[in-house]
Structures are given as C-alpha cells and as structure tokens.
C-alpha cells in the first residue's frame, strides 16, 4: 500500500465504524490514530469547506470552537464522562453565548456510573449545564464520543468533549447529514428522565 511506483498519487482506504457496538467503535478509534500517525486525511464526498480532516488534541481547539460559534440551530455533545475543568469551560462558553434560538444538548452517563465519591460533583456539573440552558440527557450505556453542529457537521473520535483529554485522542471533522442523523439517533434512544 505504501510502496512507491510510477503514476501512483493517492492511497485510498475504505473503513467503517459501527457506533452502536462499543468494541467495534474502540477498534475504529485505534485505526484512526494509526491513520493520523501516517499522515492520512479523511475524504468524504460531501462539503467543500475543508471539513473532512483528522485532528489531534494538540490542534483541534481553534477549529472546534469556531464551529461551535458558527452553529445556528443545534449543538449536541455526546461525552460519556464529565470533568470539572471541561464542563466549566463549556458553561462559560454557554453563558457568553447570545443565541437564544439554538438547541444545546449534552448526552452523558448517568450518575450511578461514577463512584460514590464522584457522584455529588457530577450532579453539580449536570446542574450547572442545565442552568445555562443545556438539555442534559443521561444514559446507562453510552460509548460514543461526538459533537454535532447543526444538520451536517460532526466531530467524532476518541475524546470525551466534556472530560479529560488524552495525548493519543483523535478527532475527525466531517460534513455529512447521513452521519449526523445516525449519531443523533442515539440521542433518541431511551434515556433516564429527571435524574440528578
């Protein structure tokens, strides 16, 4: 695949992920890290704004927050885990946000998925998110890590957007209405209502 020969210009890898099966999603995230390490970019025949790119924890922030500010209808963040630093950063951004018509939602694990010592802090973080207008939805089983902006922009990868980053976390930025619909189907699955 990587051998040079005359006339060869591109290497194309077709890869798939099943976001509904935790083990398959994790395997995909590991492959995505390998692709990034080899210098590959993502190609999806949608969009024309350079949206289809692989990012690392060192270079995603500026583009991610620009996308956040540019969203006009919806921001849905699926972050199974929460941490104080990342949630408070998001709360500050929501407090500064003047877009009253936009729908902010956060999909995360239910409180009982944390240790008893962590639960009070997690309840308070979810309360802070709700106080700034986020619709916080809790799930017993959640393994996806993504952020959807409007109807066609997805940030997807191994990073919990509202928790700690890890040095080897990888994200893809893709424009695709089909992927948005597939990921948002997760938010329509049964979640715990009225918890925390």
pLDDT tier at 196, thresholds 50, 70, 90: very low
pLDDT tier at 10, thresholds 50, 70, 90: confident
- Structural domain including 120 reads 22-187
pLDDT tier at 59, thresholds 50, 70, 90: confident
Task: Specify the residue for token string 């890290």.
Answer: 33
3-state secondary structure at position 166: coil
Helices (H), 38-176: 61-70, 84-96, 116-131
Residue 99 covered by a domain: yes
Please compute the mean of the pLDDT values over residues 27-47 and round it to a whole number. 66
Residue 140 covered by a domain: yes
Residue 52 covered by a domain: yes
What pTM did the predictor assign?
A: 0.78
Helices (H), strands (E): how many in the chain? 5, 7
Q: What is the CATH number of the domain that holds 102?
A: 3.30.870.10
What is the residue-averaged pLDDT of the chain? 82
pLDDT tier at 9, thresholds 50, 70, 90: confident
Tell me which H or E stretch contains 165: none
Tell me which H or E stretch contains 27: helix 22-37
Residue 194 covered by a domain: no
> From CA 136, how far away is CA 132, in angstroms rounded?
11
Is beta strand 135-139 parallel, antiparallel or unpaired with respect to 103-109? parallel
What is the number of structural domains in the chain?
Answer: 1
């Amino acid at each position: 695949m990587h051998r040079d020969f005359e006339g060869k210009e591109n290497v194309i890898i077709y890869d798939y992920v099943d976001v509904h099966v935790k083990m398959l999603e994790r395997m995909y995230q590991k492959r995505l890290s390998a692709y990034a390490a080899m210098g590959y970019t993502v190609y999806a025949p949608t969009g024309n704004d350079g949206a289809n790119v692989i990012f690392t924890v060192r270079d995603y922030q500026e583009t991610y927050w620009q996308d956040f500010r540019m969203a006009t209808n919806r921001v849905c963040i699926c972050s199974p885990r929460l941490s104080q630093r990342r949630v408070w950063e998001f709360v500050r951004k929501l407090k500064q946000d003047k877009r009253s018509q936009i729908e902010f939602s956060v999909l995360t694990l239910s409180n009982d998925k944390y240790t008893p010592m962590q639960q009070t802090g997690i309840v308070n973080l979810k309360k802070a998110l709700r106080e700034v207008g986020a619709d916080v939805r809790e799930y017993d089983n959640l393994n996806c890590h993504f952020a959807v902006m409007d109807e066609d922009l997805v940030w997807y990868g191994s990073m919990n957007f509202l928790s700690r980053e890890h040095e080897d976390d990888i994200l893809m930025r893709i424009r695709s209405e089909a992927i948005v619909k597939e990921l948002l189907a997760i938010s329509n699955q049964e979640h715990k209502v009225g918890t925390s």
